[in-house]
A and B are shown apart, each in its own frame.
Chain A
Amino acid sequence: MAVTAVLTWQLAVNSALTWKQFGWSFLWSSTWDPVREVYGALPFIYGTAVSSGLALLLAVPIGVGCAIFLVELAPKRVAEICAFIIELLAAVPSVILGLMGIFVLVPVVRAVEPGLTAGLGWLPLFQGEPYGVGMLTAGLILSLMVLPYITVISREVLLAVPRSLKEAMLALGATRWETVMKVSLPYARPGIAGAVFLALGRALGETMAVTMVIGNTPQIKASLLAPGYSMASVIANELAEASSDEHLHSLIAIGLVLLGISLVVNAAARAMIGLLERRA
């Protein structure tokens, strides 16, 4: 708590120039031009939000689905082996995932993008040049990164659903699937929500893997195929070579915003988990 306060204070002091010059409009101005000394954080906030949102959109259903499979359907041995592999995935350093993104994911995405454009090009989401790097790739790599969290935590909370409740539902003549939907998921919901928030926190702050595949272009495009930029990435990329105090302060201001968002997400996760524990 105290550490967080000191950190916040430090970030605030070291970004004072930016707040003085641009005020709140820093948050919704979309021009980032170190040459003309015009700074707006919106492209980065947008990039972080979209790539993280995309990651959750993919990882939550898959992760919860995997957890249900592991707990309810898979034979015990298979479940244990799968859970082990998934936990290993969580231990892969993000720079390695980023490399995998560059060598595997980017070519694949580049290959399927023309298909997406042809099939779904009427949606603004899937228009433009197939670069391979961009929001979609960043979202994919992030989803891979948070998938283990969601699966592992969801599995734990599903395992904690009392057998007596599942048996009560089965004894009423429910199928296994109905039991999952009506008993297990409602019981596990706060825990799963906590897992989602933890995953979101992880995705928001992820730097390395995203930097390697997002395209690092400060722009706001509706298309998921277009390159973008994220808050963490711009800080990592530009901090060392910031040309002026204004530039430096603006990067730190982005850091402050990122910290604020992360704290809120974290608090939400804790609240969810607390709710679960109180009930159990």
Chain B
Amino acid sequence: MLTEKPPQHAAAPGTVVPERATLEVRGLAAGYGGPLVLRSVSLQILERQVTAIIGPSGCGKSTLIRCLNRMHEVLPGATLEGEILLDGRDVMGLDPVLLRRQVGMVFQRPNPFPSMSIFDNVAAGLVLNGVRDRALVAEKVEGSLRAAALWDEVKDKLKAPGVGLSGGQQQRLCIARALAVEPRALLLDEPCSALDPIATGRIEELLLEIKKTLTLCIVTHNMQQAARVSERTAFMLMGELVEVGPTDTIFTKPSDKKTEDYITGRFG
């Protein structure tokens, strides 16, 4: 399937707002120099919704979202074909540096900068953007930490190193860091896979909060998580996108047998 069918369902029943795709992938093929890891993937990531990508390990979920902000191409040997659109514009025509300020990313393992304090971690992107005004930086750092539900825990130790926090706090710090540059969209690659259930719950809560202002795409191998946080779910298998649709449809009456096998646990 080269082009995705337009989504059949509205975000929430009763809304008539037309759904816009913040990010769109058309006929994407990608690899690392060897056999293709992604083949003819087409997907829309809709504005101010959470799109979950599920699928067994190694099916290409990380590769797919790394294509979206052109982080794929920083790996040696990486290849990519097809179209990726941000608000309808081909991202290949954009400066990757500017693209990544619009499309932020949170990684599987929390990765705060070890040489920086909590404050400096969040401010890092602003500094890159050339924001010099200290008051403005402080204001945005606080705003981002609040949005990432971390402010109350760290407001008294902003000068402490970011790596001194717990795993869950570190991941929220990374979310705050990504939010500080006010991206259009945020990509999260299994952000909770290294965290305990309580820390996971806090992150899921904050995702539901921040999706009010930005577009989210979350990779997860935890199907309950996909069900809890996402409006739409895409199921991938062996480098192909099998099916995408509203999350409840995918989980209750998937149209593809492979999806059904996977979600009912007969697979992977």
Contacts and interface: CB of A to CB of B under 8 A. Distances in A.
A238 interface: no
B56 interface: no
A1 interface: no
User: Do most interface residues of chain A lie in helix, strand or loop, or is the interface mixed?
Assistant: helix
Given A164-B109, A168-B107, A173 B74 contact: no
A171 B113 contact: no
Nearest to A172: B125
B190 to A, nearest CB: 13
Nearest to B105: A171
A165 B113 contact: yes
A183 B105 contact: no
A175 B174 contact: no
A208 to B, nearest CB: 40
A167 B124 contact: no
Contacts of B125: 172-173
Query: Range of interface residues on chain A?
Result: 10 to 19
Contacts of B115: 183, 186-187
Given A76-B76, A183-B113, A187-B114, A173 B98 contact: yes
Contact of A182 (B69, B124, B129): B124
Interface string A33-50: 000000000000000000
Contacts of A174: 97, 128
A164 to B, nearest CB: 4
A169 B71 contact: no
Which one of B105, B113, B181 has the highest number of Cβ atoms from chain A below 10 Å of its Cβ?
A: B113
Contacts, number: 61
A137 B107 CA distance: 51
B79 to A, nearest CB: 16
Interface string A175-204: 100100011001100000000000000000
A165 B111 contact: yes
Interface in A154-174: 162, 164-165, 167-174
A172 B181 contact: yes
B232 interface: no
Contacts of A187: 114-115
Nearest to A183: B113
A162 B114 CA distance: 11
Nearest to B126: A172
B181 A173 contact: yes
Given A76-B76, A167-B74, A167-B107, A172 B114 contact: no
A278 interface: no
B100 interface: yes
28 contacts: A76-B76, A162-B111, A164-B109, A167-B71, A167-B74, A167-B107, A168-B107, A168-B111, A169-B124, A170-B71, A171-B69, A171-B71, A171-B100, A171-B104, A171-B105, A171-B107, A172-B125, A172-B128, A172-B178, A172-B181, A173-B97, A173-B101, A173-B128, A173-B129, A173-B181, A175-B97, A182-B113, A183-B115
User: Which 10 A/B pairs are nearest by Cβ-Cβ distance?
Assistant: A173-B101, A186-B115, A171-B105, A172-B125, A164-B111, A173-B100, A168-B111, A173-B97, A174-B128, A171-B100
Interface of A: 76, 162, 164-165, 167-175, 178, 182-183, 186-187, 279
